[in-house]
Structure 1
Amino acid sequence: MAGSTTKTVFEIFQTMDYGPSNSTFSTAQSWLELQDASLGLFVEGKFAHPAGRQTRSLTDSTGRTVCSLMCAVEEDVSGSVSSAAKGLKGWSELSCHQRAQPLLRLAGALQRHSQCVSELCELSQSPCSPAALVRLAQYYAGWAQLRDTLIPDWIPRGVVAVVGSEDCSLYSLWLKILPALAVGNTVVVVPGMPTAPPSLLLAQLFGEAGLPVGVLNVITGSDVSLGAKVAQNPNMAYMTFTGNKQDAEALCRQTAGWGVPVSVSLSLDSVCPYIIFESADIDSAVDGVMETVFKKRRECQWALYVQESVLKSVVARLKLRLAGMKSIPLQSEAHRALVDTAVQEAERQGATIIQPCPPPTSGTLYPPTLLCGVAPSCQAVVCPAPGPILPLLTFRGPGEGVTLGNHSSHGHAASIWTEDLTLALETTKSLSVGSVWVNSLSVSDPSLSLSGRKNSGNCTDGGREGLYQFLRPSSSFPLPRSSPCALDYGAFGAAAAKASVPEGFDSSSIPRSYSHLVAGRSCKADSGCSRAVLSPEGAVLAHCPDGGRKDVRNAVEAAIKAQPSWMKKSPSARAQSLYSLAGLLVQKRQPLVTSIQTQTGLTLEEANQEVDLSISRLYEWAARCDKDMCGVPLLPQSGSALSISEPVGVLGVVLPDSKSLLPLVSLLGAAVAMGNAVVMVPSEKYPLPALEFIQILQSSDLPGGVVSIISGGRDQLTQALANHSVIQAVWYWGSKKGCQFLQHTCASPLKRLWLHCEGDEQKAGEGGLWSLPQPSLMEEMWRQAVVWKSVWIPTA
């Protein structure tokens, strides 16, 4: 038609504006009105409003009050834990089918009340899809049905505390609550303020779904210290935390010495690499950046790594996409100050700042910001400010890209973009993170296991593997419950080694001098000091090195060099090395039998039995090397996923006194079979069999540095292992003070802990436990030696 103008689709979209919001929150407001806008505690299967409690006001995104939340006191903590303890016996003794039914009915209730759940999450500024919660409930209902069939010989821990920080998401909180309930524990939940209202609503729906009274309790408070008060209750068996690093460190230190294992998941503070290779679909990769990085609320921070050959193309597309964006609201003016500081520092260091508009002079709004050309050491990369900031770094080749991706002290997740499948799989294998999204990002499903690496957590959530943090082998012993010791953490293990003083000797029996094993070589202690090893009658049998911090440092340096190549060996090659080691042990069995008998006072028959069991244990670990339990999870969406077990890295192991050789061989086999390197501290009381075993290790084909054995004072060496930043996990058999020290110290840098208070275990017969053919005990050793990586590959 004459005079008419035809607009392009692009022009139409440019002129379109958002329609009016339909979010009236009427359903959520109606539920809150039923509670008089004052939410109490959920204890004994119903809401409770004890008198005389302080309250906190929760506000929405506009600053209006949503509701008030009650601050629990000691009496409320005691009541909620007592309720959970009373409900434990009945809940754990139900059949698997009976435990599965409330979870299935919860899924149905969430579907019926999805509007209320969704609105309440939005009001509370803790958005979560009801569909994701339904999937979560259905998935763990299935595991509740199958626990006894697929996970035999494991029992629930008991009363479990699930604690969240103020900024954790509702989904991550319930990713811990539901599996804990599914396997037979009862739970006390301590949510942060934004997740408290929807958690209380879900607890009500759970009660209406038929969950027995006392099985789930929710208490709210002023800060995360309420979680520490819950842990101090004598009925508490285990605590798990999700949220930020600062609160996690405080919680770990406040609970140290109470005998409660604590695990943490720290996705919120993690810096995740977003890697774009030259073989990527650049438009899709940039779309992913815009959809994920510049969001008002995001689970983790991102750093963008771009291959140099496509840098101009990526930056040009990002500039084009950023040009039409508006400023994004921050949570507070304090966050605004952090963002301003980060951008100014990056600019001083030579970064190019790309923004769609200048930042407002004041307020909490800030434009999406791209920081081009920053250095890996820049604060915006190492610890980004909580805002819409994306640092961009370049790399030349794939190897450099992986190195930069692993540069962070975090290991939560990574997103890689490439059309080259071989490059994608090789990069996935090389990145030290718990989850890898190939040509996609932020894909989540409860069937995918996620292990936090480095400072991103010390436990596994999701999938079958996430169930085991809430279970223990029926033959194992939990940590004893008691009050913390009066312990000077700075002085623990700080005593200097003392040089031995000549006291004369019997010329007919000259004591032998032993050496350490470090980097595959026998050596003396760095201090030059040694200590006398006594027989049961008090006679000097030998002198062994008195190791310390420098010996541990040398052993870890050797382990860092040896572990990557040992990990990359095929499982069958590692199996052959362990078979060979077992064969050498057979050849050298008689000196070990004599050493065990002489030092420990065991009979010849008992010493022979221990060596025979050690040989058998090595053969068993060799056989398990290539019997890994990786899998392909079945997902309710298009795409393929892999669940891969990987070695933890460098382990520190402090061995018990209850047996002198068998624990060493059992734990060494578990660690080495899975591709780890290990620094072992033999029994302080009976070190000679372990030092005799060094000759066998030197004759084996294990690479130097994969296994180091350092004798000396247990406390001194424990302190050195705990404070070394490279060691990712510590397995400890020792004193209550040692357990308390490790719980306090290994909160930063974060380490995986496997703690055993040996005195109490020996009273219960733990010494004989090593000798029993317990499949669940062997599986627990194996699970302590691995972490899990989930890989998501879209197919459509």
Structure 2
Amino acid sequence: MAGSTDKTVHDIFQSMEYGPAATSSAVTAQAWLDHHSRSLGLFIDGKFVRPADRQSRSLADSKGGNVCSTVCAAQDDVSQCASSAVKGHKAWGDLSCYQRAKVLLRSASVLGQHDLCVSELCELCEASCSPSSLVRLLQYYSSWAQLRDTLVANWTPLGVVAVIASDDCSLYSLMLKVLPALAMGNSVIVVPGRTSAPPALLLAQLLMGAGLPAGALNVLTGSDMSLGASVAQNASISSVTYSGNKQDGVSLCKATAGMGVPVSVSPNIGARCPFIIFESADIDSAVDAVLEAAFKKRREVHWVLCVQESVLDSVVARLRHRMAGMKCVALHSDGDRGLVDSAVQGAQQQGATLVQSCAAPPSGAQYPPTVLCGAAPSSPFVVNPPPGPLLPLMTFRSNTEAVALGNHSPHGQAASIWTEDLTLALEAAKSLSVGSVWVNSHSVSDPCLPVSGHKDSGTCTDGGQEGLYQFLRPSSSSCPPLPRSSPVFMDYSKFGTAASPAIIPDDSDPASAPKVYLQFVGGKPCKSVSGCSVAVQSPGGGSVLAYCPDGGRKDVRNAVEAAVKVQPGWMKKSPSARAQSLYALAKGLEAKRRDLAASINAQTGLSMDEADEEVELSIARLSDWAAYCDKVQGGTPPLPQCGSALSLPEALGVVGIVLPDNTPLLSMVTLLGAAVGNGNAVVMVPGQKYPLPALAFIQVLQSSDLPAGLVNIITGSRDQLTVALATHSVIKAIWYWGSAEGCQYLQYSCTSPLKTLRLSCQKEDGGKDWAQSHPALLEETWRSGVQWKSVWIPTA
């Protein structure tokens, strides 16, 4: 060890011991805090303000000492901040792309001058962020600010964006949302968590000194997540994005339901991530890396070690050797110590063996690094890991079993793969349902890589060009999909439970009796499970035009089961193969155009010429999506470090689509083509007012070469079927056109697991013009059906 006189270089090389850590005095950060009397105010309109009669919140360091206090903003502060942000958006938006890029690039220089203060403050507050990573963010997004109108044409900024973080969110995760929002021309209101609040205030001051207009970046601090909901409620806010733990993210989604503001969530704290060691790995490097990830870095995620059985003994032996002498890790409280002790006792009762660096002290908020060998995927300490230095170790035999073990989690944030076989690494990376895959490395990040939250790990994409679109909207879109409003009082347990209208037999002539339609599940026309039907009224609303099945929860369950069976195989088809299937579907629609036009005419009352025009537009739209299939693909982003990276677009999975009433055929094929073209399976609910064109389209689906179960069509009560889609755990995304109450229900309910929502409040005047074929509108729809994965492969 460095500093000792009784060990040779050979001894140190054999033991791989670490030298003593350098001590930090944090003099510069302490001086900055003292300058503010260790009481930090709010940052509004380009300056620090401290309103009178406000509560404050104290922040302590890891040793219990006081760092500073922050003001808890009140409603008046939120209103003042929103007004400042509106003015700041105008001033910031009036600048040219070059001028905005110049400000952000100058900010990187200013941050470099004050990197010691930022670094020390982050260390004091345990905000986990290096100034060099922030400089990289500023440099990267300054170039996107420069090229916005060139490479992201036909898109415009949202306006005022609220960026909200939980108490345990890192400063880097916070700024990964703030800086792209600024680069695209938005103004930003930051609501940081407890640990990231002081560094966020310091960065706001530095950016203002670099030339950022007053009001373009404001920081509000508070005591809990209720401040984020208060900010979102302000009518000036155009979008809300959140980063942190899932519990606070769910609370924010529920608190903002019905406000008419879109909320995207990135729960990047507390996820379970697999660390997979194959027999072809460099075992020494893998063991060193897993110990660093699990015990020596700030634990934002919970790692689960998965080791191939053939090298288990070798891995365990190296773990024992490397862990010898490691010190105990400090826990947050004595309560955490109790949770850790309980988890270890439970693991031992289930047959797990312990590998510890030293004996655990009898009491106190400390615990030694511990590996729990022989864990099972269903073990409580694996499913709900306690907040301590515990690393479960599971084994696998085959490569397929390794992927299955890695995917055995509701989370899909990241994975680390260790193997010298590049083919195996790429196959495993593509099969794992996670947003980031690190090959022979871990915890590497760069803003050029787009990462989406897979499964229960988020509803948006951060990083790369794809991460910019959450802060933009198509220029041709004149109104937001959701109108701003106040939430209505709802009993969520009773939404969608109203009984369907009873059908009373009449004495009409059987020859003129209304036609009875079937729904489409698993590739076959069928009745609803209940056997009931609903009446479809004629355009005038007088007579019954037809009867269609009254579908319910069991029909949705059957449709999802059919979709899950076929979707993985459909996703693995090449983009060109999916394109050919969509071209064939358009051809089938062409062959049935007279029947479809007649259905539109009978259902909506449009003339035959207008109905035929809608069919023609639908054929063209399917051809558009077929052409898109092999055009919008990933790439290999240039990295600032040695290595290679891949950005890969992937299907969401099973998408639930509740269709609008207007232009029933064109709206259906627009959403169907975008979802299926990306490799998804769909469960569609036709508009309750005009369901017949969608049911007539079943004839086209039957004659197509789409796999049975890929497209399912269920009719019935919109609200009842919306509830069935929202509560199904397999459905990843819901695209909804319906009532304001339905939108509010989905925002409140689609949180466990998290679902990606695309909501639009249906208007009486028809709402969206589906005939528009503006490039940005088509791109927006296409991007709604894809999620992104980054794969990092170091070469040195």
The verdict on a shared fold, with TM-score over 0.5 as the criterion, is yes
1:102-251 paired onto structure 2 within 5 Å: 102-251=103-252
Moved >3 Å (runs of 4+): 5-8, 10-22, 496-499
The corresponding residue for 1:359 is 360
Deviation at 1:455, TM superposition (A): 1.2
Deviation at 1:9, TM superposition (A): 2.0
Q: Does 1:746 align with 2:747?
A: no
CA separation of 1:12/1:443 partners in 2, compared to 1, >3 Å: closer, same or farther?
closer
Instruction: Give the residue type in structure 2 aligned to 1:149.
Output: T
Deviation at 1:570, TM superposition (A): 1.1
CA separation of 1:408/1:212 partners in 2, compared to 1, >3 Å: closer, same or farther?
same
Q: Hey, what's the Cα distance between the residues in 2 that align with 1:663 and 1:695?
A: 18
Secondary structure of the corresponding residue to residue 407 of structure 1: coil
Secondary structure of the corresponding residue to residue 319 of structure 1: helix
1:682-761 paired onto structure 2 within 5 Å: 682-759=686-763
Are the counterparts in 1 of residues 274 and 304 from structure 2 also a CA contact under 8 Å?
A: yes
Query: What runs of 5+ residues in structure 1 fail to find an aligned partner?
Result: none
1:232-381 paired onto structure 2 within 5 Å: 232-295=233-296, 297-381=298-382
Q: Hey, what's the Cα distance between the residues in 2 that align with 1:233 and 1:440?
A: 43
Deviation at 1:412, TM superposition (A): 0.2
Q: Hey, what's the Cα distance between the residues in 2 that align with 1:332 and 1:704?
A: 55
Query: What runs of 5+ residues in structure 2 fail to find an aligned partner?
Result: none
Instruction: Give the residue type in structure 2 aligned to 1:780.
Output: E
Q: Does 1:556 align with 2:560?
A: yes
Are the counterparts in 2 of residues 241 and 248 from structure 1 also a CA contact under 8 Å?
A: yes
Secondary structure of the corresponding residue to residue 258 of structure 1: coil
Deviation at 1:496, TM superposition (A): 4.1
Instruction: Give the residue type in structure 2 aligned to 1:514.
Output: Y
Secondary structure of the corresponding residue to residue 293 of structure 1: helix
Are the counterparts in 2 of residues 296 and 330 from structure 1 also a CA contact under 8 Å?
A: no
Q: Does 1:511 align with 2:542?
A: no
Match of 1:647 among 644, 647, 651: 651
Q: Deviations over 1:448-489 (max 9, x none)?
A: 111001111111011111111111112333110010011111
The corresponding residue for 1:75 is 76
Deviation at 1:505, TM superposition (A): 2.2
Are the counterparts in 2 of residues 547 and 713 from structure 1 also a CA contact under 8 Å?
A: yes
The corresponding residue for 1:401 is 402
Secondary structure of the corresponding residue to residue 608 of structure 1: helix
Q: Deviations over 1:211-249 (max 9, x none)?
A: 001110001000111100100111111101100011011
Secondary structure of the corresponding residue to residue 791 of structure 2: strand
The corresponding residue for 2:793 is 793
* Larger mean Cα displacement after TM superposition, 89-98 or 71-80: 89-98
* Larger mean Cα displacement after TM superposition, 473-482 or 320-329: 473-482
Q: Hey, what's the Cα distance between the residues in 2 that align with 1:173 and 1:135?
A: 14
Q: Hey, what's the Cα distance between the residues in 2 that align with 1:103 and 1:44?
A: 18
1:504-583 paired onto structure 2 within 5 Å: 504-537=507-540, 538-583=542-587
Q: Hey, what's the Cα distance between the residues in 1 that align with 2:392 and 2:497?
A: 42
Q: Hey, what's the Cα distance between the residues in 2 that align with 1:547 and 1:292?
A: 49
Deviation at 1:7, TM superposition (A): 5.1
Instruction: Give the residue type in structure 2 aligned to 1:490.
Output: S
Deviation at 1:333, TM superposition (A): 2.0
Secondary structure of the corresponding residue to residue 493 of structure 1: coil
Deviation at 1:298, TM superposition (A): 1.9
Q: Hey, what's the Cα distance between the residues in 1 that align with 2:17 and 2:523?
A: 70
Are the counterparts in 1 of residues 43 and 219 from structure 2 also a CA contact under 8 Å?
A: yes
RMSD of the TM alignment (CA)?
1.5
Deviation at 1:706, TM superposition (A): 0.6
Alignment size in residue pairs: 788
Are the counterparts in 2 of residues 265 and 457 from structure 1 also a CA contact under 8 Å?
A: yes
The corresponding residue for 2:494 is 491
Deviation at 1:543, TM superposition (A): 0.4
Q: Deviations over 1:643-684 (max 9, x none)?
A: 010000000000001211001001110011110000000010
Q: Hey, what's the Cα distance between the residues in 1 that align with 2:424 and 2:474?
A: 40
Q: Hey, what's the Cα distance between the residues in 1 that align with 2:87 and 2:694?
A: 46
Secondary structure of the corresponding residue to residue 265 of structure 2: strand
Instruction: Give the residue type in structure 2 aligned to 1:770.
Output: W
Q: Hey, what's the Cα distance between the residues in 2 that align with 1:179 and 1:333?
A: 40
Secondary structure of the corresponding residue to residue 658 of structure 1: coil
* Larger mean Cα displacement after TM superposition, 743-752 or 467-476: 467-476
Deviation at 1:8, TM superposition (A): 3.5
Deviation at 1:374, TM superposition (A): 1.1
The corresponding residue for 1:630 is 634
Secondary structure of the corresponding residue to residue 213 of structure 2: coil
Deviation at 1:524, TM superposition (A): 0.4
* Larger mean Cα displacement after TM superposition, 491-500 or 327-336: 491-500
Q: Does 1:604 align with 2:608?
A: yes
Q: Deviations over 1:165-203 (max 9, x none)?
A: 010000000000000011011111000111000000000
Secondary structure of the corresponding residue to residue 66 of structure 1: strand
* Larger mean Cα displacement after TM superposition, 507-516 or 130-139: 507-516
The corresponding residue for 2:775 is 775
* Larger mean Cα displacement after TM superposition, 339-348 or 509-518: 339-348
* Larger mean Cα displacement after TM superposition, 506-515 or 403-412: 506-515
Are the counterparts in 2 of residues 295 and 388 from structure 1 also a CA contact under 8 Å?
A: no
Deviation at 1:628, TM superposition (A): 2.4
Are the counterparts in 2 of residues 499 and 529 from structure 1 also a CA contact under 8 Å?
A: no
Q: Hey, what's the Cα distance between the residues in 1 that align with 2:588 and 2:20?
A: 77
Q: Deviations over 1:562-584 (max 9, x none)?
A: 10011111111111111111111
Instruction: Give the residue type in structure 1 aligned to 2:169.
Output: C
Secondary structure of the corresponding residue to residue 617 of structure 1: helix
CA separation of 1:347/1:447 partners in 2, compared to 1, >3 Å: closer, same or farther?
same
Q: Hey, what's the Cα distance between the residues in 2 that align with 1:37 and 1:508?
A: 86
Are the counterparts in 2 of residues 296 and 329 from structure 1 also a CA contact under 8 Å?
A: no
Deviation at 1:16, TM superposition (A): 8.3
Instruction: Give the residue type in structure 2 aligned to 1:358.
Output: A
* TM-score under structure 2 length normalisation: 0.97
CA separation of 1:16/1:457 partners in 2, compared to 1, >3 Å: closer, same or farther?
closer
Deviation at 1:21, TM superposition (A): 4.2
The corresponding residue for 1:458 is 459
Deviation at 1:12, TM superposition (A): 5.3
Instruction: Give the residue type in structure 1 aligned to 2:791.
Output: V
Q: Hey, what's the Cα distance between the residues in 2 that align with 1:17 and 1:92?
A: 50
Q: Hey, what's the Cα distance between the residues in 2 that align with 1:591 and 1:578?
A: 20
Q: Hey, what's the Cα distance between the residues in 2 that align with 1:179 and 1:671?
A: 27
Q: Deviations over 1:726-777 (max 9, x none)?
A: 0000000111000000000012211000010111xx64x634x210121111
Secondary structure of the corresponding residue to residue 494 of structure 2: coil
Match of 2:677 among 670, 673, 679: 673
Are the counterparts in 2 of residues 105 and 209 from structure 1 also a CA contact under 8 Å?
A: yes
Instruction: Give the residue type in structure 2 aligned to 1:530.
Output: S
Secondary structure of the corresponding residue to residue 57 of structure 2: strand
CA separation of 1:321/1:539 partners in 2, compared to 1, >3 Å: closer, same or farther?
same
Are the counterparts in 2 of residues 296 and 328 from structure 1 also a CA contact under 8 Å?
A: no
